[in-house]
Structure 1
Amino acid sequence: MDFVVPQNIPPIATYRVMNSQGLIEDESHAPKEVMHEQILEWYKNMLFVNILDAIMSDAQRQGRLSFYMVSTGEEGITVGSAAALEPDDIITCQYRETGVFKQRGFELPDFMSQLVHNKNDPGKGRNMPVHYSGRANTGVHAVASTLGTQIPHAVGAAYAMKVADLEAGKPVSRVAVAYFGDGAASEGDFHGALNVAATRDCPVIFICRNNGFAISTPTSEQYRGDGIASRGLGYGIESLRVDGTDIFAVYEATREARRKALENGGRPILLEMMSYRISHHSTSDDSLAYRTQDEVEPWKTRDNPIARLRLWLQNNDLWNDELEKSTRAQIRADVLREMKSAEKELKPPLSSIWDDVYAVYSGEQLSQRAEMKRMMMKYPDEYDIDEYEGGIEAL
């Protein structure tokens, strides 16, 4: 009778390529010279996410946005992993994956239209800010606020792609990827998804951004086991813990996970990306109520994915202070310009409130539209009707 005592099992190691000084720890894993242009793109995309977050957080405080969530400290996870995937792969996200959208082809107008909810927002202003969607060639599904629901969605997509390939007599060629946080890993959706993926050999990669907090709850209060990677083992899923502040480790781990996920007809892989949520959970949160500034400070410099990659670029004569200054200034100018432009656009038509529910408007919907039009016409000074495309006539 030999009980397995968790505390007697060594913790799962963390895979790392580059240290906090921007030096490669094992030269056999050093990026190839042909990748230098690609790495510069990664760095600029991480800068974009970081600067966009700072400007939009300020905009929310100014009342120009209703809400915002930043990705500070996790830019390396999203950009690095997205860079390792193929264009035909399918992705489901949570709400801190701005870097995935950027790396997969989202452009400034796409971000801004959604954030300010103008008529060009594919979601028609119905979703909270940072819940991007709409650009079909990215392969990224719409973000939803409901925690963890995107995890089984990715499993279903992976299984569907596998069945389609096998029925066509082709090898399994695509993977689905689910991004989520450590808090979402406590949801039932996570456990159900892993079990189905394992028993059906679905070609899916589970990417957990373990940033240390589920809103205000630290991981020390979330679980007693060895993080999230250990849970994959319980479901029979190969798992790897990765230093999420090291973009080279993130990229290499995701590439290898993708290769493994497609082997022998497909199977799931779990990656636990270790990082730290430097920012507040959202603009509705004050994280200093549950942690100290001294705890946060080292992650802004020593263990920061942007700072770490910048050191590597400088060590290899691919970057300098002048490029840093000019690139940041250009990104900032571009974001501010596009935000002002997006704010000048009209809002979606008022009728869009009822669209996409039924194929044909129901009697109840028609009655609601008529009542809304009556109220707006009776109290025109109470509504900014001219800000909506089509004005009152859209009703």
Structure 2
Amino acid sequence: MTGELVRGLYRDMVLGRRFDQEAYSLQRQGELGLWLMSLGQEAAQVGSIRALRADDRVFPSYREHVAALCRGVSPTELLSQWRGSSHGSWDPERYQFHIYSLVLATQTLHAVGYAMGVRYDRSDSVVFTCFGDGASSQGDANEALNWAAVTSAPIVFFCQNNGWAISTPASKQYAGPLRDRAKGFGLDAVSVDGNDVLAVYAATRSMTGRVRAGGAPGFIEAHTYRMSGHSTSDDPKRYRDNDELARWQAHDPVERVRLLLNARGWADEDYFATVAADAEELAQRTRQECRALPEPSLSDTFRTTLHEETAALRREREGYETFKESFL
């Protein structure tokens, strides 16, 4: 642990949080159709992604915005899908970071298949897939865990356990720790404080090192907390109480790193001011790039639902366009 490392992690977390806040505002102003926030999960994402090698392939779910920024994905590329301008707007090969998977847990099976190919090629790179505690209840996730163990695929499953699957608490999802479930399949599994960026970094470095050396597939259960709603269409006040939120706000992952930097004398006010300015510059860039994205056309949906527009789809599109023109 060095001052340089911690300063870099802190900057990633602050910029990621500011980007997330700006995207949330853009959705509320009608610029995005939907947004799934990552507020409170910055340590889990930054600590894990920065512990990987550049050639390690990442299969995210739909909330890994902070990790995506760390991999170099631009605001335009991140927001295009949520604006409806594209179905997947960045090149996975360029960033070794797959496009978002909105169907729960599908990316875990994709990741295992990719990892089997990595093993076949005798590469020492590792595949890393992210998902939430809610997705762990899906059949796809359990099939992926089993298939990874049976094939000894070089993969690490990273579960950001936020304690809530939208409005369903963890107590109504499973009766034992998720790490124990992974061990039952034959994986090397650990738990970590997901709000401690250094703990996540260390756990990921250690786990990927063992997998890279030929060990069993890995599973990291990072206990964190989504301080916002599941998405912009969700109202967490309907199922979470303020006391629970206050307890987790006291463990804010960004504030914890700021306190560490101050305590060790690894950062001064000029550093914090520079990071804050960089965050505001990213927010301004995010807003500009979002508004420059083309407006999505519902007519195109009819044309691209299938490889070729069928007669039935054409009639539906023409009916929609006629209806739309009636308002002009």
TM-score, normalised by the number of residues in structure 1: 0.75
Q: Once the 2 structures are TM-superposed, how far is the Cα of residue 115 of structure 1 from its aligned partner? A: 3.8
Residue 278 of structure 2 corresponds to residue 327 of structure 1: no
Alignment correspondent of 2:51? 84
CA contact (8 A) 1:152 1:193 kept: yes
Q: Which amino acid aligns with 2:98?
A: H
CA contact (8 A) 1:133 1:143 kept: no
CA contact (8 A) 1:147 1:184 kept: yes
Does 1 or 2 have the higher relative contact order (CA < 8 Å, sep 6+)? 2
Q: Which amino acid aligns with 1:217?
A: T
Unaligned runs of 5+ in 2: none
Q: Which amino acid aligns with 1:147?
A: L
Residue 304 of structure 2 corresponds to residue 340 of structure 1: no
Alignment correspondent of 1:47? 14
CA contact (8 A) 1:106 1:138 kept: yes
Partner residue of 1:221 out of 153, 156, 172: 172
Alignment correspondent of 1:236? 186
Judged with a 3 Å threshold, the aligned counterparts in structure 2 of structure 1 residues 208 and 375 are, in CA distance, closer, same or farther, namely closer
Counting matched residue pairs gives: 327
Judged with a 3 Å threshold, the aligned counterparts in structure 2 of structure 1 residues 39 and 106 are, in CA distance, closer, same or farther, namely farther
Partner residue of 1:140 out of 97, 120, 124: 97
Report the secondary structure of 2:172's partner residue: helix
Residue 147 of structure 2 corresponds to residue 189 of structure 1: no
Counterpart CA distance in 1 for 2:21 and 2:28 is 11
Alignment correspondent of 2:231? 282
Judged with a 3 Å threshold, the aligned counterparts in structure 2 of structure 1 residues 60 and 346 are, in CA distance, closer, same or farther, namely closer
Alignment correspondent of 2:201? 251
* Equivalence map 1:172-211=2 (5 Å): 172-211=123-162
Judged with a 3 Å threshold, the aligned counterparts in structure 2 of structure 1 residues 319 and 182 are, in CA distance, closer, same or farther, namely same
Counterpart CA distance in 1 for 2:7 and 2:305 is 41
CA contact (8 A) 2:61 2:102 kept: yes
Q: Once the 2 structures are TM-superposed, how far is the Cα of residue 299 of structure 1 from its aligned partner? A: 1.7
Judged with a 3 Å threshold, the aligned counterparts in structure 2 of structure 1 residues 163 and 344 are, in CA distance, closer, same or farther, namely closer
Q: Once the 2 structures are TM-superposed, how far is the Cα of residue 356 of structure 1 from its aligned partner? A: 8.6
CA contact (8 A) 2:126 2:212 kept: yes
CA contact (8 A) 2:23 2:286 kept: no
CA contact (8 A) 1:43 1:309 kept: yes
* Equivalence map 1:1-395=2 (5 Å): 31=1, 33=2, 36-118=3-85, 124=86, 126=87, 133-165=90-122, 172-225=123-176, 227-264=177-214, 267-300=216-249, 302-347=250-295, 351=300, 354-355=303-304, 357-358=306-307, 361=308, 364=310, 368-369=313-314, 372=317, 376=321, 380=325, 382=327
Q: Which amino acid aligns with 2:44?
A: I
Judged with a 3 Å threshold, the aligned counterparts in structure 2 of structure 1 residues 233 and 379 are, in CA distance, closer, same or farther, namely closer
Q: Once the 2 structures are TM-superposed, how far is the Cα of residue 206 of structure 1 from its aligned partner? A: 0.7
Q: Once the 2 structures are TM-superposed, how far is the Cα of residue 135 of structure 1 from its aligned partner? A: 5.0
Q: Once the 2 structures are TM-superposed, how far is the Cα of residue 209 of structure 1 from its aligned partner? A: 0.5
Report the secondary structure of 2:225's partner residue: coil
CA contact (8 A) 2:47 2:200 kept: yes
Q: Once the 2 structures are TM-superposed, how far is the Cα of residue 38 of structure 1 from its aligned partner? A: 3.8
Q: Once the 2 structures are TM-superposed, how far is the Cα of residue 334 of structure 1 from its aligned partner? A: 3.1
CA contact (8 A) 1:351 1:369 kept: no
Q: Which amino acid aligns with 1:298?
A: R
Higher mean displacement: 67-76 or 341-350: 341-350
Counterpart CA distance in 2 for 1:91 and 1:233 is 22
Report the secondary structure of 1:241's partner residue: strand
Judged with a 3 Å threshold, the aligned counterparts in structure 2 of structure 1 residues 378 and 69 are, in CA distance, closer, same or farther, namely closer
Q: Once the 2 structures are TM-superposed, how far is the Cα of residue 252 of structure 1 from its aligned partner? A: 1.1
Judged with a 3 Å threshold, the aligned counterparts in structure 2 of structure 1 residues 74 and 374 are, in CA distance, closer, same or farther, namely closer
CA contact (8 A) 2:33 2:84 kept: no
Judged with a 3 Å threshold, the aligned counterparts in structure 2 of structure 1 residues 188 and 113 are, in CA distance, closer, same or farther, namely closer
Q: Which amino acid aligns with 1:79?
A: V
Q: Once the 2 structures are TM-superposed, how far is the Cα of residue 326 of structure 1 from its aligned partner? A: 4.7
Counterpart CA distance in 1 for 2:282 and 2:216 is 42
| Identity score, percent | 32
Report the secondary structure of 2:32's partner residue: coil
Counterpart CA distance in 2 for 1:72 and 1:200 is 36
Q: Which amino acid aligns with 1:292?
A: D
